[in-house]
Amino acid sequence: MLYHIFEFLEKNFDLPGTGLFRFLTFRAGLAIILSLIISMIFGSRIIKYLKRKQIGESVRDLGLDGQKEKEGTPTMGGIIIVLGIVVPTLLLADLTNIYVQLMLLVTFWMAIIGFTDDYIKVFKKDKKGLSGKFKVIGQVGLGLIVGVTMLMSDDVVVRVSLENAQEKGYEIIKVVERPNLSNTELKQMAYVKTTLTNVPFLKGNNLDYRALVAFAGDNASRLADILFVFLVIFIVTAVSNAANLTDGLDGLAAGVSAIIGAILGVFAYVSGHNIFADYLNILYLPFSGELVVYSAAFIGACIGFLWYNAYPARIFMGDTGSLTIGGIIAALAIVLRKELLIPILCGIFLIENLSVMIQVAWFKYTKKRYGQGRRVFLMAPLHHHYQKMGMHESQIVTRFWIVGVLLAVISVITLKIR
């Protein structure tokens, strides 16, 4: 809203300083600051309110050190994260931008699912929370909305050469001319709707999902759209659940998510910047630069939440937070055409998820074969395995953050390694 107000003031009154709001970097910086302030100020009030209402976590005895001390710690702290994301975005982002609208929808959608789950656990005293079936339905529904929006909206486009667009048969939304980087001649480009995405490590760095279904002939385009939507649904469901599994130690999920959000903010900036996209040879996504402001708010919200969630935590994010940040990360990666980087960028989420899958699968297999279930890890998810080994909680979290930074750096350099 402030963005639109200052835009109006600049156009009609030319007031000094109003032009600053045209710059993404300025608004992104303000978004981080505002998000941190909101998280820290409202966080303490939310914690006091939850304590007054006796909305505390019921901790299941897993035989881990420090568990009893966490009994009764307020949960549903994801409300702090959601406030820290939504308020700065509404104030500082261009609300007419399709990407901003989509990410706000993702935030509210996943927050409602997570809040409902926490509400049932805390207020209804049902430890199972929201039925897994309804969670999956909600995640699938969101994935469907994100995928269909990307395919149908005329504002979600990729810039390619006009010649390439005509050769591939892409739906052309707009033809533009821009200076070629190698000379002063004008080169015709086209904004197209397509299932193109960026691929790490490969020369050319692009993949069209139509190439995977080329055998379908004239129906390849339609089949590629269906494949893309199913992939989006899978990614949204997988990443949101993986983030939920990672939220098991004080500060772990919030810290890792802040690191991931920072890298997605970088990707949003270069993908929405004409010159940087050309230089890095990645897909230029018109209008996507506005996601830098949203990403900044997301980073600020996660770090601000750490003010209260770092060991020893004064509040837990609950599913209100973990499902939301997982859905946000998945959706951001998808709309920025970086979904194939998720196994690297979200490596912590991936290994936590895999540790549970391996543990459960091996236990069932050995129980069926030998009559007694055996385990690969002392406990799953993986962070509990290290706790069982005697490592302190804060040490585990710090080392996971370090690994997260390493994976983030690798994700960035994939822009040049091919």
pLDDT of residue 10: 67
Q: Which residue has the tokens 């193109």?
A: 196
Q: Please check the confidence at residue 357 and state whether its pLDDT lies above 90.
A: yes
- pLDDT beyond 70 at 287: yes
Binning pLDDT at 50, 70 and 90, where does residue 403 land?
A: very high
Q: Per this entry, what is the length of the chain?
A: 418
| Token pair recorded at residue 317 | 């994010």
Using CA atoms, how far apart are residues 413 and 201, in angstroms rounded to an integer?
Answer: 9
Averaged pLDDT for residues 379-394: 92
Given this model, what pLDDT does residue 229 score? 96
How distant is the alpha carbon of residue 213 from its chain centre?
28
Helix (H) or strand (E) holding 8: helix 2-13
pLDDT tier, 161 (very low <50, low <70, confident <90, very high otherwise)? confident
User: pTM for this structure?
Assistant: 0.93
CA angle, 65 as apex, 61 and 66 as ends, to 5°? 85
Q: How confident is the model at residue 145 (pLDDT cuts 50, 70, 90)?
A: very high
State the pLDDT at residue 391. Answer: 93
Pairing between β-strand 206-208 and β-strand 196-198 as defined by DSSP bridges: antiparallel
Q: Which of 359, 364, 349 is nearest to 379 (CA)?
A: 359
Q: Given this model, what pLDDT does residue 39 score?
A: 92
Domain regions of the chain by residue span: 2-156+222-413
Residue 51 has pLDDT above 60, yes or no: yes
Contact in structure between 139 and 133 (CB atoms under 8 Å): no
Lowest-confidence segment of 147-156, 232-241, 276-285, 299-308 by average pLDDT = 276-285
- Of 110-114, 128-132, 146-150, 252-256, minimum mean pLDDT range: 128-132
Is the per-residue pLDDT at 184 higher than 50?
Answer: no
Neighbouring residues of 295: CB distance < 8 A, sequence distance ≥ 6: 28, 261, 262, 264, 265, 268, 332
User: Which of 29-33, 59-63, 234-238, 357-361 is predicted least confidently?
Assistant: 59-63
- Residue 292 vs residue 160, higher pLDDT: 292
Give the whole-angstrom CA distance, residue 9 versus residue 235: 42
For residue 236, the model assigns a pLDDT of 97
Sheet holding 171-179, edge to edge: 158-161, 186-193, 171-179
pLDDT at 168 over 80: yes
Q: Is the pLDDT of residue 371 over 70?
A: yes
Q: Give the per-residue pLDDT at 58.
A: 61
Average pLDDT, the chain: 89
Residues 6+ apart with CB under 8 A from 263: 345, 408, 411, 412
CA pseudo-torsion sign 230, 231, 236, 240:
positive
For residue 17, the model assigns a pLDDT of 66
Q: Of all helices (H) and strands (E), which one includes residue 387?
A: helix 382-388
Helix or strand run (H / E) with residue 176: strand 171-179
- Binning pLDDT at 50, 70 and 90, where does residue 182 land? low
CA contacts within 13 A on the Cβ side of 400: 34
The whole-number pLDDT of residue 64 equals 66
- With cut-offs at 50, 70 and 90, classify the pLDDT of residue 355: very high
DSSP state of 313: P
The region of weakest confidence among 41-45, 178-182, 238-242, 290-294 is: 178-182
Percent of the chain with pLDDT over 70: 91
How far is Cα 49 from Cα 80, in angstroms, rounded to an integer? 12
